[in-house]
Amino acid sequence: MAAPWSSRRGCVSPKNVKNQIDKLNAIPSKRIFHSIIADYDLNRSICELVDNGLDVWVRGKKAKAISISITLEKTQQTITVEDNAGSLPKSDLRYIVGPGETGANPTDETIGIFGVGTKRAVVALAQDVKITTRFPKEKTYQIDFDDKWLDDDDWELPVYEVDPIPEGKTIVELQRLRSPITDEGIAHLKEHLRATYAKFLTNDAVTLQLNGEKLSPLFFENWAYPPGYPPQKYLGTLKTEDYGGRESRSHCWPF
């Protein structure tokens, strides 16, 4: 009986052979920030920062009232967003800049917690970014970065210990803005914030301020329509049969 193919000529069965020869660095380039900010304007960027404050507040079980203050300085062309939502501990500061990093638990009913949206927002707004934060019972820490850091492939970022701010507070300071602040932009932002966070603003525990003004909720109860064509609502009865042979009636639908 002939020997199996594998035993003849001293050969082995054909199969894939892998020999590791090197490792590749898969860390993304920081240019990713510049490439994904095109669709961010002032309104959307500020909302990302407000979302983070509200998310921290929600994660903290809404234990105390939250205040978020937005200051758009037209003369100095700077933006400052402050909140007392609770902040992040030192161990979680990487969430502020790490791509894909987020402090949100998948089961949390939250929006951001310094997710990708916030990173895009601050980079879209300014060339110089400074974030100061103090978690309860911890010291005050600060990180800052600019376009020079974004253009460097090194992902390490210094963390500074600075003068204390109130516990639970986070301050985002943006300078060298990419687009100028105008009166029209401030007015549009005000209405956008009032409408976007209308439901939150009905809660006495939530305060949202823009340039020192406490914002009130804006709901859309009256809708515009062409003359002679107001909204219509029709009521009627549809006779249908489900799988059990029963009839279903009294349907209504708006137009």
Q: Residue 40: its pLDDT value, please?
A: 86
Most confident of 28-42, 75-89, 117-131: 75-89
| 3-state SS, one letter per residue, for the chain | CCCCHHHHHHCCCCCCCCCCCCCCCCCCCCHHHHHCCCCCCHHHHHHHHHHHHHHHHHHCCCCCCEEEEEEEECCCCEEEEEECCCCCCHHHHHHHCCCCCCCCCCCCCCCCCCCHHHHHHHHHHEEEEEEEEECCCCCEEEEEEEHHHHCCCCCCCCCEECCCCCCCCEEEEEEEECCCCCHHHHHHHHHHHHHHCHHHHCCCCEEEEECCEECCCCCCCCCCCCCCCCCCEEEECCCEECCCCCEECCEEEEC
We find that the CATH architecture of domain 31-214 is 2-Layer Sandwich (3.30)
In the predicted model, is pLDDT for residue 188 greater than 70?
yes
Average of per-residue pLDDT across 146-159 = 85
- Give the pLDDT score at 17: 84
pLDDT-based confidence at residue 141 (cuts at 50, 70, 90): very high
Tell me what the mean pLDDT of segment 73-87 comes to: 95
**Residue 147: which of 71, 27, 25, 37 has the closest Cα?**
37
